[in-house]
Amino acid sequence: MTEKSDTLIFTQRRKIIAEAAKVCFSRSGFHGGSISDLSRETGMGPGQLYRHYKSKTDLINEVVRIIAAEWRNFLTERLMHLTELLHILDGQSPFWQGWSSQNHALLLEAYSEAARNKEVREILWKEELLLIETLCFRNEGKIKYSSDRIRLILIVIDGFLCRIFREEKLDLEELKKIESFLFEIE
C-alpha cells in the first residue's frame, strides 16, 4: 500500500468511527456511550478505535466539531430565508425540516458538555462566531441582521431546542410585537 492510500483509509475509518459515535452518543450521551458500544456499532475492536482517536475525549470533541458545524450550516441556510419568528417557535414548520432527532440530541449533549468542558465550549463558540459573521455579511433574505440581533435570535432558538414546546394557541399579536423587536422586515 502507498502512503496516500494508507492516509485515505485512515481518514475513512475516522469518519466511520465519528458517524458511529454520533449514533451511540445520541442514544446514551457522551458519558453514557462506551467504547464497547462504539466497538459494536463500528465492528472495530477497541484497539482500532484508539488508533484513530487517542481517547474518548478526543472522539467527543470530534463529534462536537461535526455537530456544531452542521448546526452552523443548518442555521445559516434557515436564517438567511427566515421571514417570520413563528417559524422558529413551531417545531413542525419548514424551518426545522432536515434537523434530525439524532442531531437534536447531540446538540443538546454538546451544550451540556460545554458547561463542563472548556474545549467543547470553545468549539461551539467558534462556530457561533462564524455563523454571526456569515449572517451579518450575507443579507439575502428580508431580515437584516446585526450581531446583537443574531445573538438574541440564537437565545430564542437555543431555548426552543431545550424545551421543544408546541403551543397550539400562540398569541399571534404578541408574537408580531416580539418579531418587530427582533427583526427589521422591509
pLDDT of residue 22: 96
Cut 0.85: pTM above it: no
8 Å CB contact between 53 and 21? no
Q: Which three cell numbers stand for residue 79?
A: 436564517
For the chain, 186 residues long, the average pLDDT of each consecutive 10-residue run is 81 94 95 93 93 94 97 92 76 86 93 95 96 80 73 84 60 69 56
8 Å CB contact between 59 and 17? yes
pLDDT of residue 186: 43
pLDDT of residue 91: 76
Interacting residues of 170 by C-beta distance below 8 A, sequence separation 6+? 86, 89
User: Pseudo-torsion of CA 39, 44, 46, 47, nearest 10°?
Assistant: -170
pLDDT of residue 140: 58
* CB-side neighbour CA atoms (13 Å) of 94: 7
Phi, psi of 104 (to 5 degrees): -60, -50
8 Å CB contact between 46 and 35? yes
Q: Which three cell numbers stand for residue 121?
A: 465550549
Using alpha carbons only, how large is the chain's radius of gyration in Å? 19
* CB-side neighbour CA atoms (13 Å) of 22: 19
pLDDT of residue 165: 47
Q: How far apart are CA 55 and CA 50, in angstroms?
A: 6
pLDDT of residue 153: 84
Collapsing DSSP to helix, strand or coil, 143 comes out as: strand
